[in-house]
């Protein structure tokens, strides 16, 4: 009887963050396709926080970002009308590097060229 009363809470716990339409398709293009990542991508928390400019941002600890990967947890990404115009692929690259034990905040490693390729693929697919 107690487990039955917890069912709604357990269902909510597994929901994660709300997704954008076509997010699973974008994930397939970027994470599985361009990046060829075998593991699961991080959860994406889409944000449209006011950041004092014409574009929405992702506010975190008083700072505003186009996107921010919270290591081992989730990526905050400001929705800017489409996946290729948002920092979606960029933050997924941070997550991919982190999953491989790589930290490259200056974006100096060669795999960063894949972010541009991913954004072109997203744009080509209307995402």
pLDDT at 52: 86
Residue whose tokens read 């709300």: 18
Is the confidence at residue 3, as pLDDT, over 90? Answer: no
Which residues contact residue 76 at a Cβ distance below 8 angstroms, ignoring those fewer than 6 apart?
Answer: 45, 47, 58, 60, 65, 67, 68, 69, 70, 91
**Strands (DSSP E) along 2-125, which ranges?**
44-47, 58-60, 63-65, 67-70, 74-78
For 42-99, what is each residue's pLDDT tens digit? 999 999 999 988 788 999 999 999 999 999 899 999 999 999 999 999 999 999 999 9
Q: Are 95 and 89 in contact (CB under 8 A)?
A: no
Q: ∠ CA(20), CA(91), CA(120), 5° rounding?
A: 75
Whole-number Å distance between alpha carbons of 98 and 100: 5
């Amino acid at each position: 009887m107690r487990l039955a009363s917890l069912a709604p809470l357990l269902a909510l716990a597994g929901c994660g963050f709300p997704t954008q339409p076509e997010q699973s398709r974008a994930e397939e293009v970027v994470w599985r396709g361009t990046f060829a990542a075998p593991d699961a991508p991080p959860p994406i928390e889409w944000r449209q926080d006011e950041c004092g400019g014409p574009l929405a941002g992702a506010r975190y600890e008083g700072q505003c970002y186009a996107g921010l990967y919270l290591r081992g947890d989730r990526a905050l990404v400001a929705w800017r009308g489409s996946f290729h115009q948002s920092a979606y692929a960029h933050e997924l690259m941070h997550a991919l590097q982190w999953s491989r034990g790589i930290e490259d905040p200056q974006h100096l490693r060669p795999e960063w060229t894949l972010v541009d390729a991913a954004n072109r693929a997203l744009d080509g697919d209307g995402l």
